[in-house]
Amino acid sequence: MNIILMGPPGAGKGTQAAKLVKEFGLTQISTGDLFRKAHREQTSIGVISDYFSKFGRLVPDDFTNEMVYDYLKENMNNFGNGFILDGYPRTILQARELEYFEESLGFKIDAVINLDVDFDVLKKRLSGRRTCKNCGATFHIMYKPPKVEGVCDNCGGELYQREDETEAAVKVRLSTYEGQTRPLIDYYKMKGMLTNINGDQSMDDVYSDIKKCLEAL
């Protein structure tokens, strides 16, 4: 089963994807994580994406599509029970490109799940988010505090606050979402692929709604 997990920054995509990985043996593909890895390694895509990501803007479609295509192609046989796209597609052009990838690499997207959360809630989630430098796991200083402050529960890695989590960058990210990503909701609704889920519930309740949706498939 291959699914797209959509939603604005801070909606809980990463949090829910981690639960699905654990329970169903799916592989999480987070473009945000791929860009941050490229940044740490200062590869050419890392250098290019820095310029956009730092300010909360999207990396241009052609770079993003190429990175995703290469990743899918290289790992096509290693996805276990399927994959979860977390943070891709984020524009209509990316969605169109993904359809081309389905044909050329021979896979199918089975469902699109959209996590719906109001902007006021998102701002609180983003400002309190802490991310593991080592494994990318996310925590929250109030809603999901790590057992030891500043230390990842999963791997013992150091937790940090992302560079694009300043108030200014968050503002840009939310308005970028409105302008470029929100139109995808209607796109997938028209294709009959979309399930909308209220993301403003406890993490466990959101997860149980996602499971209900997947079981119905």
Judged by CB under 6 A, which stretch of 21-29, 51-59, 96-104, 188-196 contacts ligand ADP?
A: 51-59
Angle, helices 119-128 vs 167-176, to 10°: value is 140
Residues contacting residue 110 through CB under 8 Å, at least 6 positions apart? 1, 2, 3, 82, 217
Residues contacting residue 6 through CB under 8 Å, at least 6 positions apart? 13, 112, 113, 114, 115, 181, 184, 185, 188
Identify whether 182 is a catalytic site residue: no
> Of all residues in this chain, which one has the CB nearest to ligand ADP in the complex?
32
Decide: is 31 part of the binding site for ligand ADP (CB under 6 A). yes
Nearest to 213 by CA among 81, 11, 72, 16: 16
Judged by CB under 6 A, which stretch of 37-45, 83-91, 105-113, 153-161 contacts ligand ADP?
A: 83-91
**How many contiguous H segments (helices) and E segments (strands) does the chain have?**
9, 8
Choose, from 19, 123, 144, 162, the residue flagged as catalytic: 162
Question: Of 77 and 120, which CB lies nearer to ligand ADP in the complex structure?
Answer: 120
Residue 12 annotated as binding site? yes
Question: Of 49 and 131, which CB lies nearer to Zn ion in the complex structure?
Answer: 131
Question: Of 18 and 174, which CB lies nearer to Zn ion in the complex structure?
Answer: 18
Residue 49 beta carbon to ligand ADP: minimum distance, rounded to whole angstroms: 6
Decide: is 137 part of the binding site for ligand ADP (CB under 6 A). no
Identify whether 129 is a catalytic site residue: yes
Contact 13/86 with Cβ under 8 angstroms?
yes
Query: Which H or E run includes 132?
Result: strand 129-132
Phi, psi of 141 (to 5 degrees): -60, -30
Decide: is 144 part of the binding site for ligand ADP (CB under 6 A). yes
Decide: is 132 part of the binding site for Zn ion (CB under 5 A). yes
Residue 157 annotated as binding site? no
Catalytic residues: 13, 90, 129, 162, 173
